Amino acid sequence: MLALLSQSPILFLLLVAALLIAITVHEFMHAWTANYLGDPTAKYMGRISLNPIHHLDPIGTIAIFLIGIGWGKPVQINERNFKNPRMGSAIVSIVGPLSNLFVAFIFSIPVLLHTIPTDSYVYLLFFLIVRINILLMILNLIPIPPLDGSKVLYFFLPRNVDIVKLETYGPMILLALIAFSFFDPNGGLFALIFRVSQPILNLLGFSSVPF
């Protein structure tokens, strides 16, 4: 991304804006839902906010600019505050990816209605917002810890399954998949996510890349 800053400053700024929207809405919905279900932990930490500063992780943000992939600040919850801890945790987790799908849909409406020219910066911004939100949704639905999909998976697993082992080895598996993606851009995890995202983008009116 840093190279993009010198090559196309406007595209860089639009990309940053799209990333901030995707990460902020994602983490905000985790925090808001947890509080709604009875756990005020995130609320007390100031996470029920649409201010991106409250949701940016320093290392994750640096990683985005250096290697093109990063993360937001995880929303902390206390499952014991939920009436049903397993279900509460699953709901809080799934609303993150669902919120990204919702944002993507909202920003695709002007494109589907053909109300903005395809050669404008507005169209480019909307494309980036939709694409990044769809990519973030798909990535987080993968049932590997610490991604959101893992908490949804736990809800459906038998109670005698050792979740601790999944939490221990999950991050290492995820890092291995990410590392493999850099060595094999056409066949790794990222390539798979992009392939899965394209049919969704087509449905939302973005059948081609505007740059």
Catalytic residues: 27
Number of CB atoms found within 10 A of residue 25's CB:
20
Report the DSSP beta bridge partners of residue 196.
Answer: none
Q: Which two tokens stand for residue 98?
A: 């669902």
Give yes or no for a contact between 11 and 4, defined as CB atoms under 8 angstroms apart: yes
Half-sphere exposure for 116 (CA within 13 Å, toward CB) = 18
Number of CB atoms found within 10 A of residue 157's CB:
13
DSSP result, 11-65: HHHHHHHHHHHHHHHHHHHHHHHHHHTT--HHHHTT-S---GGGGB-HHHHHHHH
The total number of residues written for the chain in this structure:
211
Helices (H), the chain: 2-7, 9-36, 41-44, 58-67, 85-112, 121-141, 148-156, 163-183, 189-203
